[in-house]
Structure 1
């Protein structure tokens, strides 16, 4: 589904509504406004982005927020919930995380059958924050698999960070988990614009 052509002509006066649904990587990510501006330019259409997110949230918390996301009636949901699930101090297994994200995706599909849901993998974790998440890849894969089982989309932002390593990476992710907002936008916005505007 590409937002263009006849569909765009029919709805060009109505903003494209996006809900960003996730953890602190969403709540304090800072990438929403650059994404809104880039999509609005690309689509020649107003775009509005709202946030349903909480620092420290896990996928268990997200289950309780499904109704809030559905009530916003978005055209697009951008979702990420593996980061805290994967932290050792949360004591959440991969299987439990998988079940939770399955519940979330099924709830979104029931409430928003015409909306696009994109499950995202975010930035790398480094230092202590990375050591606390030694099996993060397994959580990402579980969430990707659950999305693809439902013909929903998966967007992997991690390749955009591969040009940085060592001290350069540490400088833009100073606490090992949360990128500087402008760097998060640099990494994420081009990929999301390609997917949402051009369908690639």
Structure 2
């Protein structure tokens, strides 16, 4: 999160009558009733797990819905339990009050952002009424299907508008997909895979939507561990078990601690 984004977040919570420096549990976002009454503002400064815990305190049946491509579905993992969605579910169910949390995996092989719209996937998600939606942006397939980046961004906006209108009380988090081999090669639309990653990230942040940059975090982890990309992929596109571990760790950390700030 850069300085401008941080300032925007501070402005939002102040306009909502919340002091981000307030540590008084009776009036701040650490109070469940207060959090639920000020969802939009409190989400700017609270980890996703707090949304789930506070909703659970109201005795609600909680669920998380995921939507995306085959890398959300877990292709390349040795077994279902190894994909990032299953690992996230296992971690969250250990948190207070979340043992009954339901997590659905809506990853569909080969799906692009255009497929998401054409097959009315947002409507399916809305009917589930989840507390949290995780939307993996399907950029691996937009790149492979030569969809212009401008169209990809337009599709993301269409999907987000549908989700936010259909699920006004839900928390929606977008995720990039993982790095891939040969992503530096331009497709027929004239874009590299990284072009899709960088352009959509800027578009998402410009709109103020929550975002986890899996692409960046996996690359940074590989560099720190002196590993190469081939070690965490099962083929040119899909992670193996170790790759899904890296993906899951990033999402779990975001859920439990919130977005990284500064040089974290």
Q: Specify the TM-score bucket, using the shorter chain as the normaliser.
A: 0.7 to 0.9
**Are 2:249 and 1:190 equivalent residues in the alignment?**
yes
CA change 1:28–1:194 in 2 (3 A) is closer
TM-aligned CA deviation for residue 116 of structure 1? 1.4
Pair 1:94–1:150, CA change in 2 (3 A): same
**Which ranges in structure 1 are unaligned for 5 or more consecutive residues?**
none
* Aligned: 1:172 with 2:232: yes
How many aligned residue pairs are there? 195
Task: Tell me which of 104, 108, 112 is aligned to 1:58.
Answer: 112
Q: CA deviation at 1:160?
A: 2.8
**What do you get for the CA RMSD once the two structures are aligned?**
2.6
Correspondence for 1:40 among 88, 93, 102: 93
Would you tell me which structure has more strand in proportion to its own residues? Answer: 1
Tell me, yes or no, if the aligned pair for 1:42 and 1:197 is still in contact at 8 Å.
no
**For 1:69 and 1:142, how far apart are their aligned partners in 2?**
26
Distance 1:7 1:66 in 2: 25
Is the 2:64–2:131 contact (alpha carbons within 8 Å) kept by the matching residues of 1? yes
Q: 1:178 to 1:52 in 2, by over 3 A?
A: same
**TM-score for both structures, normalised by structure 2:** 0.65
- What are the ranges of 5 or more consecutive residues in structure 2 without an aligned counterpart? 1-42, 76-82, 260-264
User: After the TM superposition, which residues 19-38 of structure 1 pair with which residues of structure 2 at under 5 Å, given as runs?
Assistant: 19-29=65-75, 30-38=83-91
Equivalent residues of 1:35, 1:185 under 8 A apart: no
- Aligned with 1:116 (options 153, 161, 171): 171
- Distance in 1, matches of 2:186 and 2:93, equals 38
| Deviation by residue 1:102-130 (Cα, 9 ceiling, x = unmatched) | 10010000001121111112221114x66
Contact 1:59/1:100 (8 A) holds in 2:
yes
Provide TM-score, normalisation by structure 1.
0.83
> Which of structures 1 and 2 has the larger relative contact order (alpha carbons within 8 angstroms, sep 6+)?
1
| Rg larger for | 2
1:81-96 matches, cutoff 5 A: 81-87=138-144, 90-96=145-151
Q: What is residue 132 of structure 2 aligned with on the other side?
A: 76
Distance in 2 (CA, whole Å) between partners of 1:143 and 1:160 is: 17
How do 1:147-158 and structure 2 match up within 5 A?
147-158=204-215
Q: Write the deviation string for residues 47-87 of structure 1: whole angstroms up to 9, x where unpaired.
A: 22112221111101111211001111111111122111112
